[in-house]
Chains A and B, each alone.
Chain A
Amino acid sequence: EDQVTQSPEALRLQEGESSSLNCSYTVSGLRGLFWYRQDPGKGPEFLFTLYSAGEEKEKERLKATLTKKESFLHITAPKPEDSATYLCAVRGGGYNKLIFGAGTRLAVHP
């Protein structure tokens, strides 16, 4: 059964303190791993798509990496505005169905 597990559930950082969020997955035939950001009371906002092990993508202070079993979202020198819930999702076979993890709530304090 396709499954996505994110850790930690919550993370508190000081501004400038770099860290990483983890997304472990099991899927029969990965056809894409997606990272989204979700602010309170809003819908998920697309960040990255990764397709194959070894692939990396960057956007401002965020960098996503992918291995055969997990993905990391690295946050370098975070700012308070990076505070949000970060969601990971995988797409397996068939139609464009995404399996989401429960998310990591990130709080960055000044």
Chain B
Amino acid sequence: NAGVTQTPKFRVLKTGQSMTLLCAQDMNHEYMYWYRQDPGMGLRLIHYSVGEGTTAKGEVPDGYNVSRLKKQNFLLGLESAAPSQTSVYFCASSDRANEQFFGPGTRLTVL
């Protein structure tokens, strides 16, 4: 039982490049989330999903897109990366309104 996994662990992009972060969970959770964590700030919700095929905007959605084609996977895309998107990205999942379980994170640097 791996819980929540994220790939890749680290990535360096140049401004304007695109990339996709993959999150997978094996707990059969309905809800999945993408957060970013910046120094001195709390985790901020980017997008979330309450079920396969559904997505919604969180607190800081601009510059990101998501897809949930399968229940166990939640993808976060950056179409044109900007230095302001340098951050650590965490995926989480939950069984509806219960506690969220987090992945190990992806450290992204945009030059």
Contact = CB atoms under 8 A, between A and B. Distances in A.
Contact of A44 (B50, B58, B90, B96): B90
B41 A46 contact: no
Given A42-B105, A43-B4, A43-B102, A96 B42 contact: no
Interface in B69-107: 90, 92, 94, 96-105
Contacts of A42: 104-105
Interface size class of B (residues with CB under 8 A): 20 to 34
A31 B94 CA distance: 15
A75 to B, nearest CB: 20
B100 A96 contact: yes
A97 interface: yes
**Which one of A36, A95, A99, A101 has the greatest number of beta carbons of chain B within 10 Å?**
A95
A21 to B, nearest CB: 14
A99 B90 contact: no
B31 A96 contact: yes
B48 interface: yes
Contact of B45 (A45, A97, A102): A97
A86 interface: no
Interface of B: 4, 31, 40-45, 48, 50, 56, 58, 90, 92, 94, 96-105
